[in-house]
Amino acid sequence: GQWLASLESSGRFFQPNVVKVKFTFFHDIILSIQRMHKAGFVHCDIKPENIVIDKTNLDNFIIDFQFVRQRGHRAKGRDGSKRYMSPQYIKTRICDVDTDMWAAGVILYSMMFDEPPFQIRTSQSDAQHAEGAFGGVFNERTMAFTKAALQRF
């Protein structure tokens, strides 16, 4: 398999003619996450480095189950990667379906626009991250993309 992060850094996922492939690939990621949720578990660390791609048929697999827990259980600490953490998880330390879906949304935005939806400064406190996560994200470009994505599925 090949890491999603490697595909992103190669630039292959950012060519205008592969938007349909991006949506299909993302749809498959969502289906994988949903299967885990239906089984009663949340991953709590969805990020490109934890998605492996089979180059022969482009199937994707979620890996690294270090932080997986049953839905609704409070974490002892803030497990996972800050760039993909939802503001809700940072505030409550409860990893749930919304936590994984937030992270998937960050991945989708990054896949489509070749940049993260917001910047995380290493000195930024968790509270600042949680409060500022939406700043600048919902611009015209994002809204147009979101509408197109919703029409696709």
**Residue 114: left (phi > 0), alpha (psi -120 to 50), or beta?**
left
* Phi-psi label, residue 58: left if phi above 0, alpha if psi -120 to 50, beta otherwise: left
- One-letter amino acid at 105 equals G
Which CATH fold topology does 2-152 show?
Transferase(Phosphotransferase); domain 1 (1.10.510)
Tell me the C-alpha distance between 58 and 107, whole Å: 17
Q: Tens digit of pLDDT per residue, the chain (153 long)? A: 455 556 555 555 555 556 777 888 888 999 999 999 999 999 999 999 999 988 787 788 899 998 898 887 776 666 778 888 888 888 888 888 988 999 999 998 888 887 888 777 655 555 555 555 545 445 666 666 665 655 544
* Catalytic residue list contains 114: no
Catalytic residue of the set 28, 45, 54, 114: 45
Q: What is the 3-state secondary structure (H, E, C) of the chain?
A: CEEHHHHHHHCHHHCHHHHHHHHHHHHHHHHHHHHHHHCCEECCCCCHHHEEECCCCCCEEECCCCCCEECCCECCCCCCCHHHCCHHHHHHCECCHHHHHHHHHHHHHHHHHCCCCCCCCCCCCHHHHHHHCCCCCCCHHHHHHHHHHHHHC
pTM reported for the whole predicted model? 0.71
What is the gyration radius of the CA atoms in the chain, in angstroms?
A: 15
The predicted structure's pLDDT at residue 116: 82
Q: What pLDDT does 31 receive?
A: 92
Distance set, CA 12 to CA 6, 35, 104 (Å): 10, 28, 19
pLDDT score, position 91: 84
- Dmax (CA) for the chain in angstroms is 44
What pLDDT score was predicted for residue 153? 42
pLDDT number for residue 111? 84
